[in-house]
Structure 1
Amino acid sequence: MSRIAKSQLIHYSRKAHERGLTAAFGGNLSLLFGGLVFIKSTGAVMDELNAGDIAVIDLDGRQVSGVRPSSEYRMHLAIYREREDVRAVVHLHPPYSIAASTMAGKELPIITPEAELYLGRIPVAEFRPAGTRELAEKVAEAIKESDAVIMERHGIVTVGRTLREAFYRAELVEESAKLWYLAERR
């Protein structure tokens, strides 16, 4: 499984960069399998990610591999603890979502039927510094009843039973933010 998990993380990390959902070092994806979390390492670049850039940690945050996990590992772990149904977490820095986070209030309005069906609602979590326990707690609280969260001035987090599901939810969040932003600017 570790080879498959790493392959999926590489595929969707590169796809996120190709689609403009994140840039450079920003963002991180993870998969939970067999009590272990496979997650992008700290400092790895999304469109250059390779198997050596993927860290493995346990659910207590202890390193299993020789690679240091992303500084956002606390947030990923908090989500896995909060939601037993979640097996994948996608955290990206898409531009329209970040812009909307400064204007939308406590929740991004849902515009399309597709977003209504696959996301339901998109809460906006109040700003907390990146990589902190405070941010992890805010996001875990917001994700209790939603599969997507926008973090004020930071990015988005989406979850799913698979990495594919979490990734396409991230695309829907950014599409929703873009449509809302464009409608607000007219």
Structure 2
Amino acid sequence: MPELKLADTESLKSGLPAWFDLAIGNSILQYGQRLAARQLLVNTLGNIAIRSHCPYWRREVVYTKYRGVSLEECGLEHLAVLDLQSNKLLHGRFRPSVGHQMHREIMRCRSDVNATVHLHPNDVISFFAVMRWQEMEYVSNDTALVMGKPPCILGEGVNIELDVSAIRQCAHDTNCIVMPGHGITSFGRDLSEAFHRAVAFTAEITRLITSQCLSAATGKSVLYTSEEQVRQMYELGEQVIYGSQLK
């Protein structure tokens, strides 16, 4: 193993090894602040994870924050890097929370997934605590385009942070896993995609709550998007949302 060298002044100040990818580290901080600005962070338990190939270690690694600090308060000194396969800590003072095994398992199951976002949004938890939906319905005509696939709504009490076995059964068929009473985990090819799916799903839940409150107040029924429209949106999402970026 070659001797580690500090890459630049910024790395030197942060005490980061030369192989640490500052662009990845800074993106976690940036998107953490974007989530905070949307009031989607609650205490220290939400997280972001990003997969990258590290030439120094010659393997795939995962960048994430360690346990005990909020994404809202996170700095480069609060980030950890772990081996994707072995979960060995390669950099950082502390390991991430136990929920990191959920992020790892999603990436292990989906080679196309390079980023995950885990949140505990108030509206999502409140909605599923009352409605107990097993399948998703929409009132908007755009959320399904962003999601790309139906969300996987787990049964009550299923915690994939503690038991990842359920991930293997649904990871290929969804881009967002919902744990009623706990929160959501969205994923994508990059952090931007995972972020947009997290905020789009949360926004849709807020629309559903508002629509149902208005329905109760006015006596008018909620107009949900038809199953056929939703199916078409899932199919067209790649072209409509990301088509200009495809080669």
Superposed pair shares fold, TM > 0.5? yes
CA drift of 1:118 comes to 1.4
Residue of structure 2 equivalent to 1:39: 64
Question: For the residues of structure 2 that align with 1:124 and 1:152, how far apart are their CA atoms?
Answer: 7
CA drift of 1:128 comes to 2.9
CA drift of 1:32 comes to 0.1
Question: For the residues of structure 2 that align with 1:153 and 1:69, how far apart are their CA atoms?
Answer: 22
Render the CA deviation track for 1:17-67: whole Å, top value 9, x for unaligned. 220112221300000001000011101112111011111111121111133
Residue of structure 2 equivalent to 1:112: 140
Structure 1 letter corresponding to 2:150: R
CA drift of 1:140 comes to 4.6
SS in 1 for 2:97: coil
Q: Give the RMSD, CA atoms, in angstroms.
A: 1.7
TM-score by length of 1: 0.91
Q: Is residue 2:26 matched to residue 1:7? A: yes
**2:82–2:90 CA contact under 8 A, matched in 1:** yes
Residue of 83, 97, 112 corresponding to 1:58:
83
7-16 or 98-107: bigger deviation: 98-107
Structure 2 letter corresponding to 1:105: W
Point out the structure with max Rg over C-alpha. 2
SS in 2 for 1:89: strand
Render the CA deviation track for 1:142-163: whole Å, top value 9, x for unaligned. 3321111211101111101110
Question: For the residues of structure 2 that align with 1:87 and 1:20, how far apart are their CA atoms?
Answer: 24
Structure 2 letter corresponding to 1:79: I
Residue of structure 2 equivalent to 1:24: 43
Residue of 80, 95, 119 corresponding to 1:92:
119
Render the CA deviation track for 1:82-117: whole Å, top value 9, x for unaligned. 111000000011111111222242122122121121
Select the structure with the greater relative contact order (CA < 8 A; seq sep ≥ 6).
1
TM-score by length of 2: 0.70
Question: For the residues of structure 2 that align with 1:77 and 1:170, how far apart are their CA atoms?
Answer: 18
CA drift of 1:129 comes to 4.2
Gaps of 5+ in 2: 1-19, 54-59, 217-247
Count of residue pairs brought into register by the alignment: 184
